[in-house]
């Protein structure tokens, strides 16, 4: 059989079976992802719920007004914090966080060693308490604060629920 004859026979046998009628199945596709969004929604600090970064920013302004250095740090995988430092005495420094107390729904400033400082709606009082803490000698006990007069308490009574 010649090559042309073989092509005619093959064409006659496959004339009803074109590739257009039998498409190969499409490869499986992953669903498309939604448009990327911001991971955290910023809320005004004085609004319901507040925003930890906005509270830290307000505290930074109070620390600057008192002559202290203060800047916000956002390390990967850790809480955003405010680093504060006395420019005249560099060992007097520390990290401050603003966290929501889930038991009360109120935002508070906290030292990095998990000591509550002051409510976040009072950055001036928090700045004074921070400076007082760092200027106090290490072996001197904390003076009685507003807790004795019925104000806020520096004691965490949340049973471990307070920070996050």
What are the residue boundaries of the structural domains of the chain, listed by start? 52-138
The dihedrals phi and psi of 17, each to the nearest 5 degrees, come to: -120, 65
Q: Which tokens hold the place of 73?
A: 């740090």
Nearest-angstrom CA–CA distance, 161 and 41: 23
Whether residue 138 is predicted with pLDDT greater than 50 in this model: the reply is: yes
Nearest-angstrom CA–CA distance, 113 and 107: 17
How far is CA 52 from its chain centroid? 8
Whether residue 117 is predicted with pLDDT greater than 80 in this model: the reply is: yes
- Of 3 and 79, the structure prediction assigns the larger pLDDT to 79
- For 40-76, the pLDDT digits (tens) are 334 444 444 457 899 999 999 999 999 999 999 988 8
Nearest-angstrom CA–CA distance, 58 and 110: 14
pLDDT score of 102: 86
- For 71-113, the pLDDT digits (tens) are 999 888 888 999 999 989 889 999 999 999 888 889 999 999 9
Sign of the torsion formed by the C-alpha atoms of 129, 117, 98 and 134: positive
pLDDT score of 44: 42
With cut-offs at 50, 70 and 90, classify the pLDDT of residue 161.
very low
Tell the burial category of 121 from Cβ atoms under 10 Å away from its Cβ (0-12, 13-18, 19+). Answer: middle
Whether residue 125 is predicted with pLDDT greater than 60 in this model: the reply is: yes
- Across the beta sheet with 81-86, the strand order is 69-73, 81-86, 89-101, 106-111, 116-119
Grouping H, G, I as helix, E, B as strand and the rest as coil, residue 124 is helix
Q: Which tokens hold the place of 33?
A: 């992802």
């Amino acid at each position: 059989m010649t090559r042309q004859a073989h092509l005619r026979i093959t064409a006659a046998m496959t004339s009803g079976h074109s590739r257009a009628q039998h498409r190969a199945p499409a490869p499986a596709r992953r669903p498309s992802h939604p448009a990327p969004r911001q991971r955290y929604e910023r809320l005004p600090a004085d609004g319901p719920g507040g925003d930890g970064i906005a509270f830290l920013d307000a505290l930074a302004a109070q620390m600057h007004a008192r002559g202290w250095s203060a800047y916000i740090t956002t390390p990967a995988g850790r809480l955003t914090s405010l680093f504060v430092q006395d420019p005249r005495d560099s060992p007097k420094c520390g990290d401050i966080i603003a966290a929501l107390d889930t038991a009360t729904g109120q935002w508070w400033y906290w030292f990095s060693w998990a000591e509550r400082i002051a409510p976040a709606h009072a950055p001036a009082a928090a700045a004074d308490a921070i400076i007082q803490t760092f200027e106090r000698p290490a072996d001197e006990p904390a003076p009685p604060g507003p807790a004795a007069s019925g104000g806020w308490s520096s004691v965490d009574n949340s049973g471990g629920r307070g920070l996050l």
